[in-house]
């Protein structure tokens, strides 16, 4: 099923060059949200940056310059944003419920890339999940799955 969701995400329209795409580009919206959660705790670790780029590359089948452009566009969009709704509204229009759940799983993968859960990261994923209408049970299941794969997976998830 995960492969089906990744296939769906790859097929999303990109709106032209990612470096100059409009605000309605779902690839940039996704990159911005993934970038945002990576920086939620105020510390961008190399392992998180590499996981961010790996997720973008695998999800959207991009490499090299195109991957760098997408990562840069996501960073720029996040830095210029005033809220998360601008990005979640784009994804909500373009993703079905299963793909939205899978996207929350990708966010958790970035959160746990460094093997730690920070309360600001947890809160960010919670807010994005709420805006995407992803149910609590699905958000928590994705969190547990990501935590189980994380370095030092014996760490607690801090489920509410």
Which pTM value belongs to this model? 0.83
Distance CA 25, CA 16 (A): 9
Query: Could you read off the pLDDT of 25-57 as tens digits, one per residue?
Result: 999 999 999 999 999 998 888 999 999 999 999
Given this model, what pLDDT does residue 32 score? 97
Query: Could you read off the pLDDT of 94-140 as tens digits, one per residue?
Result: 999 999 999 999 999 999 999 999 999 999 999 999 999 999 999 99
Query: Could you read off the pLDDT of 54-98 as tens digits, one per residue?
Result: 999 999 999 999 999 999 999 999 999 999 999 999 999 999 999
Q: What domains are defined for the chain?
A: 1-11+21-149 (1.10.3680.10)
Computed from CA positions of residues 149, 11, 122, 159, in that sequence, does the dihedral angle turn out positive or negative?
negative
Provide the strand spans (E) within 1-159: none
């Amino acid at each position: 099923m995960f492969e089906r969701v990744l296939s769906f995400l790859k097929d999303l329209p990109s709106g032209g060059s990612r470096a100059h795409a409009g605000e309605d580009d779902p690839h940039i919206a996704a990159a911005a949200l993934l970038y945002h959660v990576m920086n939620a705790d105020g510390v961008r670790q190399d392992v998180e940056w590499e996981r961010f780029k790996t997720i973008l590359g695998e999800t959207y089948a991009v490499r090299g310059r195109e991957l760098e452009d997408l990562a840069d566009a996501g960073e720029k969009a996040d830095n210029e944003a005033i809220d998360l709704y601008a990005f979640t509204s784009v994804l909500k229009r373009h993703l079905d419920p299963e793909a939205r759940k899978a996207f929350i799983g990708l966010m958790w993968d970035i959160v746990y890339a460094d093997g730690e859960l920070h309360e600001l990261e947890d809160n960010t994923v919670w807010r994005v999940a709420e805006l995407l209408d992803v149910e609590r049970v699905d958000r928590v299941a994705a969190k547990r799955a990501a935590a189980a794969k994380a370095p030092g997976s014996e760490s607690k998830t801090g489920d509410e």
